[in-house]
Amino acid sequence: MPVTHSSFWLGDTLHNFTVSISQPNGLTDMYGDNDVYVTHFNMSDMYDEPFIMQLKTNNQAYRYSLELRDVTGNVLLTWDNLENNTVYRDTINYGDGCFTIELIDEEDMGLTYWAYPAQGNGYLRFFDLDSVTIKNFGSDFGRSIFYTFNMGDVSFIQEPNLNEPITIYPNPFTDEVFIDFEEMNGEATIYIFNLQGQQVYSSVNDKGPKTRVTIDLSDIPSGLYIVNVIYNNTAIKKKIVKL
């Protein structure tokens, strides 16, 4: 199913997802009233630039822990073994992608609870780099806060481009990645970077047409990586995910 409109990935004003069928098994549907199904979804918040996450604990900080994870479940940041009535801050700047923050209270009362004032008050908030509040989570949350958000350009789920001169697969992958060149009569240079901009792989390949390059990435951690391929005076950039 070719998906050409960006609202499929980024949402529209209605935030509805619609599925319809027609001519099941090549025949006219006898029950056409249920050929269309519409469901509503909530879009994750999107941030265009880094921000500051700040957690203030209450009088019983031992109960709380926080994790920030990327789209593949890698833990990028952990706050635990916290001190009472203490402010914890960190700048969230892990590159483009989808992320999850989970704050857990092992006693199910949140950072503030009207029926138990002895625990004191705390909060979880986001600030921009000018210290202006951009997100304030409710403190009476019970067991947990589970929050997903996007950073930067996350529209990297693309329809296949039949004119693309290379194919990278499998994606996601576990240990090896293959790059198939439609034609490679000259030199091709391959670089792979992590989201911190560190180069984790490079190679120069000079072979004939219909070439496949096998890349062993078994020794790098799981996560999102950027592949840059330069050949025939063309630069191609792809995103791959290691499980």
**What is the helix (H) or strand (E) element at residue 9, kind and residue range?**
helix 7-10
Three-state DSSP class for 143? coil
Q: How confident is the model at residue 34 (pLDDT cuts 50, 70, 90)?
A: confident
- pLDDT, one tens digit per residue, over 102-132 is 999 999 999 999 999 999 999 999 999 999 9
Among 169, 171, 212, 215, which Cα is nearest to 192's? 215
Domains annotated on the chain, with CATH: 7-45 (no CATH), 46-151 (2.60.60), 166-242 (2.60.40.3080)
d(CA 184, CA 98): 34
- How far, rounded to the nearest angstrom, does the alpha carbon of residue 106 sit from its chain's CA centroid? 27
Among 73, 82, 74, which Cα is nearest to 54's? 82
Half-sphere exposure (Cβ direction) of 46: Cα atoms closer than 13 Å:
11
Q: Parallel, antiparallel, or unpaired: how do β-strands 144-151 and 133-136 relate?
A: unpaired
Percent of the chain with pLDDT over 70: 84
Three-state DSSP class for 25? helix
Q: What is the DSSP letter of 7?
A: H
Does 48 or 10 have the greater pLDDT score? 48
Q: What is the mean pLDDT of residues 152-178?
A: 71
d(CA 215, CA 201): 9
Average pLDDT, the chain: 83
- pLDDT, one tens digit per residue, over 176-233 is 999 888 766 677 889 998 877 788 999 888 766 557 889 999 999 988 888 988 877 6
d(CA 70, CA 79): 16
In the predicted structure, residue 162 carries a pLDDT above the cut 70: no
d(CA 42, CA 203): 43
CA-based torsion, 137, 138, 140, 142: positive or negative: negative
User: What local confidence, expressed as pLDDT, does residue 96 receive?
Assistant: 82
